[in-house]
Amino acid sequence: MNRKPREFLHILASICLVSLLSGCGPSTRVSSDVPQPNPEQYTQPPAVVTAAPSSPASTAEPTVEPTQAPSEAPYEFGTFVEESAPVDDSWFSSAAFLGDSRTEGLKAFSGLNYGDFFFSRGMNVFRVDNENYKVVSINGQNYTILEALSLKQYDSVYIMMGINELGYPLASYRSALSTMLQRVSEIQPNAVIYLQTLPPVNEEVAQKNGLDPSINNTNVAAFNQVITELAKEYRVALLDTSSVYRDANGSLPADLASDGVHFSANAYRRWVDYLASHTLSFQRFDESRKQDSPPQISEEVHET
């Protein structure tokens, strides 16, 4: 009675073993006809792809292209960049600041520890690329302001220059600043270029410190008008940096002034905070700029 079931099980096991060895049973082996992906062909891990047998008609689902986000509204050149969510200080790690002794103060007293600062006391728009004014020293080599700017590419370039030019003819300032804007655009084609208005001065304090009579708010206003016009003409972003240093009378408050032109040490942080809350993305800047090309300047500009 017990022998027959045991014999039956032995016979059944033998049949299954023969079936597997002969290839007749089910198999999990992958067919060598289906090419396998080579990981070395990818710089990123390949997406999971399900291989299917070739057939005259493909049954694959159509590829759906991702929907592209709409572009930001164009920036209107010649108007002040609108307020935006503030960025933190590290955002300025890819920024360059071009200027004079007030930019020196920005570096020294604002607490901003990011970015590259290219400045010199007495610097003006006539000297930024003058071989006689190699005022920036980097690794033992001296450069002009614009030579230093050309050593690497930045995401943003901030320009504030004009206080030392207040005694020059307005037309000379316009011509030299025009050339500078063109050169900066050529040197930094992938940066958002910001042109800043000149903060006011405190005339009473300036006179007490024996500063030149040309250092007055009437001249500052005239130069700021040129800055606004050239920002539109050369299609660069315009920042009203002066607004954070202007009182109800259009003057630099005495408690924010040191000598009437420069700011007290604790007032430089206002500058950084304003820049941090008035930024443009390069995409918006570039798309707006491509609508028209800025004019070309061919004549040489001489300091007069």
Give the count of domains, the chain: 1
Other beta carbons within 10 angstroms of residue 168's beta carbon come to 19
**Which range of residues forms the domain containing residue 191?**
89-119+153-289
pLDDT of residue 291: 82
**54 φ, ψ to 5°?**
-70, 145
> Rounded to an integer, what distance in angstroms lies between the CA atom of residue 301 and that of residue 304?
9
Strand-pair category, 141-143 with 136-138: antiparallel
Q: How far is CA 55 from CA 10, 48, 60, 123, 219, in A?
A: 44, 21, 11, 74, 80
pLDDT for res 55:
38
Q: Is residue 82 part of a domain?
A: no
Nearest CA to 229 among 184, 171, 275, 285? 171
Q: Identify the pLDDT of residue 286.
A: 95
Residue 207 counted as domain residue = yes
Helix (H, G, I), strand (E, B) or coil at 247: coil
pLDDT attached to residue 178? 98
The alpha carbon of 103 is separated from its chain's Cα centroid by a whole number of angstroms, namely 19
- Per-residue pLDDT, 300: 52
Q: Give the torsion through C-alpha atoms of 82, 88, 89, 94, to 10 deg.
A: -70
Structural domain contains residue 219: yes
Structure token pair of residue 15: 């049949």
With respect to residue 9, please indicate whether it lies within any of the assigned structural domains: no
Residue 219 belongs to domain with CATH number: 3.40.50.1110
> Looking at the domain assignment, is residue 200 inside a domain?
yes
Q: Which residue has the tokens 């942080």?
A: 269
The answer as to whether 244 is a domain residue is yes
The pTM of this model reads: 0.74
Assess if residue 18 is contained within a domain: no
Q: Is residue 66 one of the residues assigned to a domain? A: no
Query: 152 phi and psi, to 5 degrees?
Result: -155, 170
Angle between helices 268-276 and 101-109 (to 10 degrees): 90
Q: Around 154, how many Cα atoms within 13 Å sit in the side-chain half-sphere?
A: 28
- Strands 192-196 and 136-138 turn out to be unpaired
Close Cβ partners of 10 (under 8 Å, ≥ 6 residues apart): none
E strand spans, the chain: 95-99, 116-119, 136-138, 141-143, 156-159, 192-196, 237-239
Tens of pLDDT, residue by residue, the chain (304 residues)? 444 444 544 444 444 443 433 443 333 333 333 333 333 332 333 333 333 333 344 444 444 444 444 457 999 999 999 999 999 999 999 999 999 999 999 999 999 999 999 999 999 999 999 999 999 999 999 999 999 999 999 999 999 999 999 999 999 999 999 999 999 999 999 999 999 999 999 999 999 999 999 999 999 999 999 999 999 999 999 999 999 999 999 999 999 999 999 999 999 999 999 999 999 999 999 999 988 655 555 455 556 5
